[in-house]
Amino acid sequence: MDDSTEHTKKSDGNNHIPGEETSSSNGDALITPLKVPIQGEKTARSTIPRSDSAKRVYVIAGLLIMIIGGLWLFSYLSRNPVRTVSLPREKPPPKQPAQELPSTIPLTPTDGGNNTEHSAQDKIAAEQKLADFLQAKKTLDGKGVAEWGGEVYEEAVQLAKTADEAFIKREFTAASRHYGEALVLLNKLLNGIDATVERFLDQAQRALKEGDGKRAEQLFSVVLMIDPGNDSARHNLERAKNTEAVMQLIASGASHEENNDLSRALTDYQEAVHLDPESEKAQTALRRVKNLIAAEQFQQLMSAGFKALNERDYTGARSSFLKARSFQPDSHEVKDALLQVDTAIRLARIEALREKALTSESSEKWHEALSSYQEVLTIDSSIQFALHGKERSLKRKQLDESMQRYLEKPSVLESDHSLEKAITLLREARQIEPHGPRLTEQLNQLDRLVTEAQIPVPVTIESDSLTEVAIYKVGKLGRFSIRELTLRPGTYTIVGARKGFKDVRQKIAVKAGKGPIEITLKCSEKI
């Protein structure tokens, strides 16, 4: 309500109700000076003649006083908000049946009778409605109602102006009605404050989401006028202040993104998110460019991995594929690539073991060859070359060990059984093709030992014809003075026995190619 439409109670030391003036007989409001009787006035008037010019001066002076007073009152009311003071209510007298007069007809205290009583009651009611209206308006003004009250508030203000005009005209019934209607509208605004706050918050959030920072800032400010303690509005108001800068960064990032300058786009989007971590547009743009960068790095790493794989750099290939998997953990492409690396490594290992086994075979290192084939079969038990190689290496290893045993201990050939086994071994070894240097040498050495083991060496034994002579592994020779016989190479034990004499025992070693051997065996020590 404008200051010009508000009312104040002013009087010289007495309360004055807005719109209450001294009424003339025709009902018009006038401001007239009080006439104070002065002692001796009657005598003076009777003795001092009045002229027409003096009368005119009095009239003009009175008019000037009225005009100056009116201008002063208008100026005062325009500068000072008016506060209405409600008069204490008196118990109204019992209503007397009377005919209602139209509200547009001003009631004057000179009407007398019931009209005077009704006018006072209507005036009191109008003043109470005015006070209630002003109280509600004060509450709403404190919440910035002018910014959000809209047509309802404008209508309430207009009704208040209409009520003011009626009050000034002393149309108290009409004034009371208009104040009441204005109060209803203000109460409607007061009762709908929560809904209004929600509505403005929704509109502000929508504007913020759409990037209209200025409108969002304005709407959040209105919410804080209504509800200064609204944390959501206060928080989002700060966001709205950064919205313009955020949108500029998003636009800049999008431009870099179109030019495939993803690094600069990432910088812009990160700065936008830093300014407003809750901005969905900034967050979406940042995620998108991160995904693009990740996809680009993923492809680069995959290409590097396959290049290393083709160059048989399996360690480098695996490293590249594992880094690529960090960008796309569920990528089937990475899984297949790592499987290819594992397969390539496995095949390379198998091939390396195969080459090692063949090298060991060529150098007749059958133990090493067997170990290589067994390792291949540990990787894949169905590989045929490893199965055949294992069987071949095992036989050659066993043959080599057997022949080496005879070569290292030729004395075992002194046994007929061992000699037969050695002869059989030689026969089998000669059937193997090809003969490597080691096998050829082993065959020659063992053949020589077997041959020598089968050539007897002449042995001459001299005795006294009294001693019974026997040779272990040969048999009893009896008593003789000289006995010649042949023995195969080996170690023999010759025993002599004679009754009444102590037995004698002697070991002889028969060496191939060495002989003849001469020994003497007699029992000469009596018991």
Q: Where are the domains of the chain?
A: 3-42+51-86+106-191, 196-305, 330-454, 456-527
Query: What residue has token string 């070693």?
Result: 509
Q: What is the DSSP letter of 503?
A: -
pLDDT at 50: 44
Question: 199 with 148: CB under 8 angstroms?
Answer: no
Number of C-beta neighbours around residue 139 at 10 A: 14
Token reading at 359: 């090298």
Amino acid, single-letter form, for residue 372? S
pLDDT at 506: 93
Q: What is the DSSP letter of 526?
A: B
Look up the CATH number of domain 456-527.
2.60.40.1120
Going 129 to 130 to 131 to 132, the CA torsion angle's sign is positive
Look up the CATH number of domain 330-454.
1.25.40
Task: Using alpha carbons only, give the angle 297, 298, 303 rounded to the nearest 5 degrees.
Answer: 95
How far apart, in whole angstroms, are the C-alpha atoms of residue 73 and residue 257?
Answer: 70
- CATH class (in words) of the domain with range 196-305: mainly alpha
pLDDT at 168: 92
How far apart, in whole angstroms, are the C-alpha atoms of residue 512 and residue 331?
Answer: 78
- Give mean pLDDT in consecutive 10-residue pieces for the chain, a chain of 527 residues: 37 35 33 35 40 54 57 45 39 39 36 57 91 92 87 93 93 92 92 89 87 86 87 85 87 92 92 88 92 92 95 94 92 94 93 94 92 94 94 93 91 84 91 88 91 88 94 91 89 92 91 83 90
How far apart, in whole angstroms, are the C-alpha atoms of residue 387 and residue 380?
Answer: 10
Please check whether the two domains, 196-305 and 456-527, share a CATH topology: no
Please tell me the number of Cα atoms within 13 Å of 139 on its side-chain side: 13
Strands 457-462 and 482-487: antiparallel
pLDDT at 415: 80
